[in-house]
A and B are shown apart, each in its own frame.
Chain A
Amino acid sequence: MEQRIVQFISALRNSGVRVSLAESEDAFHAIRLMGVQDRDVFQMALRSTLVKDFHAIPVFDELFPLFFGHNQPPVGENVLQNLTPDELEMLAQALEQLAQRWRNLLDRLMEGDQLTDEELAQLAMLTGLQNIDQMRYREWMSRRMEQSIGLSKLDEALEALLELLEAMGMEMEKQQELKAAFQANARALSEQIRQYTGEQIARQISEQPPEAAQNEVYQRPFHALSEKDMEVLRKDVKRLASLLRTRLALRRKRAKNGRLDPKSTIRHNLRHQNVPIVLKFRDRQLKPRLVVICDISTSMRYCSELMLSLLYTLQDQISKTFAFAFIHDMEFVSPYFSGRTVQEAVREILVKNPSGYYNTDLGSSLETYVKGYFDTLDSRTTFIVVGDGRNNYNDPRIDLVEKINRRARQLIWLNPEAPHLWGSGDSDMLKYAQWCDLLLHVRNLSDLTAAIDRLLT
C-alpha cells in the first residue's frame, strides 16, 4: 500500500501538481489515523494533505481511481445462457458462415470474459503503450487497443450476424436480445481496456525521472526557444513572480517613510497631550495601473506570452491591468483572464488568434485602441508596448503614439530585437523611439523579469 501511495504521489508530481516531502509525510500520518477501509475517507485524507490548489483537484480526481480503483471493470454476461438449444445451433451455424475477421471478435464477446493480463500486455506491446507518459493520450491509446482486437468493427459484424440469423428464422426479439448482450460485453471490454491504459500511463508517469533544473533557458533568446523550453519556462513563471513580488512588496513597505503627515500625527498624539511621540508619515506609494499592448504574431509570441503570464501572476502588486493583443488589429484580452489560470487564458488567446501569415499592423491597431479604449489610459497609467516595431510598411501612426505618450504617466517599449536592427527594413522602431520614455531591449526571460521589476516600481 505504501509503495502504491508513493507511486501515486510521484505521478501527481509528474502531472504538474507540486507536492512537497512534508506534505507526503502528512499524507501518511493522515492515513495511519483514518485507515484505508473507507475509500471515500481515504481519498479525502489524501486530497486534503496533498493538494493545496483547487486547479489541481481535477488532476487528483483523475489519477486517484487509476491507483486506488476497484480494479474490477464490469464483467460481461454470457450471451449463450438464455438461448434454447435450437437457437444455439442457429448461432453456431451463423458464426460458421461469417467471415473470419468478424468471427474472432464475436467468439471473444460470446462468453463475456475479460481480457487476461497477458492479452492486455500483448495488446499494449502491439500499440506501443509503453512509450506513452502523458494522460492526454489515454483515449487515443484505448481506441487503438480496441481497434487491434477488432472492437471497432462490432457494428458491422453484428449486422452480418443478425442478417444470417434472420435468414435462419430466429425471432426478432431474440435477435435484439443477442445484439444487446454482445454490445454490453463489448462495452465491458472497452471499459477494461480504458482502465488498463489509464493505469499503465499513470504508472509510467510516476516512473519519469524528475526534470533537471535548466538555468540556461532563462538566458536563451526568445527566438531560439523550443516548445519544450517554453514548457519549462511556463512552469517557472510562478516562481519568478513570487520572487519579484517579495522584492516589490518590500520596496513598497520601506518606501512608506515618505513625507511627514502633520494631520495624522496630531490626531495620533492627542492621547499624549499633543506631544508628538508617534510620527506619522504619508504613504504615497500607489500601485501602478498598466495598459499592456502585446504583439502576438509568430515572431513575438513567446515573449508576449511570458510577459502576460508574469503580469497576471503579479496582479496583487498592480492596481489594474488592461491587456490588449494585436496582430493586424487590436483585441481587448483582459476578460480572458477572469476565472482562468494565466496559462489557460494565454492558450485561449493564442487559439483565437492562430499563427499563420498575418499582416502585423501596429498603426491601425493603435487607432482601434484610441477609438475604443482610450478611457483606460490616464495620468496614473503606464503604457507598455511589447513588440518589435515591424509594421510591414503600414502607416506607423506616430501621431497616435505621441497622443498616448502625452496622456500616460510613462510609455515603455519592450523590444526583443537587437538595437542594431532597429530601423532596418520594415522596422519603425526608431520613429517610435522618440516618444518612448523608456525603451528596453529584452532578449530573454531574465531581461523580461528585470524589465518588469523596473516598470512596477
Chain B
Amino acid sequence: MTQFMFQTPQALREALGKQQYIASDEIATILFLSNQLDKPLLVEGPAGVGKTELAKAIAGATQRELIRLQCYEGLDETKALYEWEYAKQLLYTQLLRDKLQETLSGITTLSEAADRLAQEEDVFFSDRFLLQRPLLRAILSEKPVVLLIDEIDRSDAEFEAFLLEVLSDFQISIPELGTLSARHIPLVVLTSNNTRELSEALKRRCLYLFIQYPTLEQELAVVRLKVPELSADLARQAVELVQRLRKMDFRKAPSISETLDWAKALVKLNASMLDENTLQTTLSILLKHENDLQRARKLIKQDQPLRDERRINRWPEDR
C-alpha cells in the first residue's frame, strides 16, 4: 500500500529528473529496490555528492512529506523519538485542580484516593502530552512520508542500536503507551560520511548505495541543469578543472555542491572565460583549506597541468 507509483526504475529516474536530480541507473535501481522490499536505504559517499539531496528529490518526486532527523553526538531518544510535555502536564494538573478535588471528594482513606487517581492516570499519559519527535512523527503520520536520517555516523553507537527496532519492524515501544506500529511504512534514507564504522546489525537491515564523485559528463549535466545561465563552454571548462582538482591530494576535495556554488559565482561575476584573475579570486569557493588553496594557486599560476599525485583517498578511486 505504501509502494509508490513507479513501476520501473526508469520511471523513478525520470521522476527524479523532474526534481532536478540527475540519478544514475544505479541510484534509481537501488532506490526502487529499497521501496519494493520495504527496506531502509543506507547511502554512503564523500561529502557533497548529493546524498541528502537524493532524499529531498525522492520526497518531491513522490509528493511525500520529508521528515528529517539530523544526527549528532549525544542525540538520544528524547530528541529523536518522543518526550512527555512536562510543562503542559503540570499546567493541566493546576487547571484541573478543582475537577480533581471533585473526583476525589467523599474519599476518606489515602489508598482509596490513590486508586481513584490511578483510574484517571491515562489522561496524563496520552497522545495529548506526547511531544512527537521526527521518528515518531514518521511512524504515526497519516500519509506516507520520506524519513531522512542524516549523518547517522555522527550519532553514538547506542543510538544506532535503538534505531534497529524502528528500521526493521517500523514500530516504536513507548513504556506508557505500548507499541506503536507504523500506519504507512515510510521510505527511510540514511546517510553516512563514514567517519566511523556502522554496526553490522544496522547495515544488515539496510540496502547499501555508494555514491561516488560523478564523471565529467554527469557533473556537467548537473551544472547545466542547476545553473543554466552559465554558458556551455565555460561550464565545461569549470567542470574539467574541478575534476582535475579532485585527482589531487587535497585535504578536502571539492564536492558537487561546491562546483555549483562556484558556477553560480562565475555567473554573478559575469565571467566569460576562466582567466587567471577569475580563478585566483574565486578558487576559495572550491577549496576550503588554506594549504589546499595555496597549492592549487601555485599550480594554476605556473600553468602546469595538475599532476596526478598519489592520492591518499578515503574512497576507492574507481569501481
11 extra A-B contacts, CB within 8 A, seeds A47-B208, A238-B197: A20-B200, A22-B205, A29-B37, A48-B34, A48-B207, A57-B316, A58-B319, A245-B157, A246-B158, A278-B86, A316-B195
Check if B312 sits within 8 Å of A338, measured CB to CB.
Answer: yes
Looking at B25-33, B96-104, B119-127, B288-296, the stretch in contact with chain A turns out to be B25-33
User: How many B residues face the partner with a CB closer than 8 A?
Assistant: 38
Asked whether any CB of chain B lies closer than 8 Å to the CB of A107, the reply is no
Q: Which residues of B contact A58 (CB under 8 A)?
A: 316, 319
Asked whether any CB of chain A lies closer than 8 Å to the CB of B18, the reply is no
Asked whether any CB of chain A lies closer than 8 Å to the CB of B239, the reply is no
CB A346 to nearest CB in B, in angstroms, measures 15
Q: 14 A-B Cβ contacts within 8 A? A: A22-B204, A33-B33, A34-B33, A45-B30, A49-B208, A52-B206, A55-B316, A58-B319, A61-B319, A242-B199, A271-B87, A277-B90, A278-B86, A316-B196
Map CB proximity to A onto B142-172 as digits: 1 under 8 Å, 0 otherwise. 0000000000000011100000000000000
Asked whether any CB of chain A lies closer than 8 Å to the CB of B42, the reply is yes
Distance, CA A30 to CA B26, complexed state (A):
14
Check if A339 sits within 8 Å of B314, measured CB to CB.
Answer: yes
CB B92 to nearest CB in A, in angstroms, measures 14
Q: Which residues of A contact B39 (CB under 8 A)?
A: 26
Check if B42 sits within 8 Å of A45, measured CB to CB.
Answer: no
Asked whether any CB of chain B lies closer than 8 Å to the CB of A421, the reply is no
Asked whether any CB of chain B lies closer than 8 Å to the CB of A260, the reply is no
CB B273 to nearest CB in A, in angstroms, measures 35
Q: Which residues of A contact B315 (CB under 8 A)?
A: 54
Which chain A residue shows the least CB distance to B45?
A: A54
Asked whether any CB of chain A lies closer than 8 Å to the CB of B4, the reply is no
Asked whether any CB of chain B lies closer than 8 Å to the CB of A211, the reply is no
Within A1-21, the residues touching B (CB, 8 Å) are: 18, 20
Which chain A residue shows the least CB distance to B26?
A: A44
Which chain B residue shows the least CB distance to A30?
A: B33
Check if B200 sits within 8 Å of A34, measured CB to CB.
Answer: no
CB B73 to nearest CB in A, in angstroms, measures 9
CB A392 to nearest CB in B, in angstroms, measures 34
Main SS of the interface on chain B? Answer: mixed
Asked whether any CB of chain B lies closer than 8 Å to the CB of A93, the reply is no
* CB within 8 Å for A272 and B158 given contacts A48-B209, A58-B319: no
Which chain A residue shows the least CB distance to B28?
A: A44
Asked whether any CB of chain A lies closer than 8 Å to the CB of B65, the reply is no
Map CB proximity to B onto A57-82 as digits: 1 under 8 Å, 0 otherwise. 11001000000000000000000000
* CB within 8 Å for A52 and B157 given contacts A30-B33, A313-B197: no
Q: Which residues of A contact B196 (CB under 8 A)?
A: 315-316
CB A40 to nearest CB in B, in angstroms, measures 7
Asked whether any CB of chain B lies closer than 8 Å to the CB of A250, the reply is yes
Which chain B residue shows the least CB distance to A238?
A: B197
Residues of B bordering A, CB below 8 Å: 9, 25-26, 29-30, 33-34, 36-37, 39, 42, 44, 86-87, 90, 156-158, 194-197, 199-200, 203-210, 312-316, 319
Asked whether any CB of chain B lies closer than 8 Å to the CB of A53, the reply is yes
* CB within 8 Å for A57 and B210 given contacts A44-B30, A338-B312: yes
Map CB proximity to B onto A309-347 as digits: 1 under 8 Å, 0 otherwise. 000010110000000000000000001001110000000
Map CB proximity to B onto A32-53 as digits: 1 under 8 Å, 0 otherwise. 0110000011001101110111
Asked whether any CB of chain B lies closer than 8 Å to the CB of A253, the reply is yes
Q: Which residues of A contact B42 (CB under 8 A)?
A: 52
Distance, CA A57 to CA B200, complexed state (A):
16
A249: which of B9, B86, B158, B203 is its contact (CB, 8 Å)? Answer: B158
Map CB proximity to B onto A360-396 as digits: 1 under 8 Å, 0 otherwise. 0000000000000000000000000000000000000
Asked whether any CB of chain B lies closer than 8 Å to the CB of A87, the reply is no
Which chain B residue shows the least CB distance to A336?
A: B312
B204: which of A23, A47, A61, A271 is its contact (CB, 8 Å)? Answer: A23
CB A321 to nearest CB in B, in angstroms, measures 13
Within A225-284, the residues touching B (CB, 8 Å) are: 238, 242, 245-246, 249-250, 253, 271-272, 277-278
Check if B26 sits within 8 Å of A250, measured CB to CB.
Answer: no
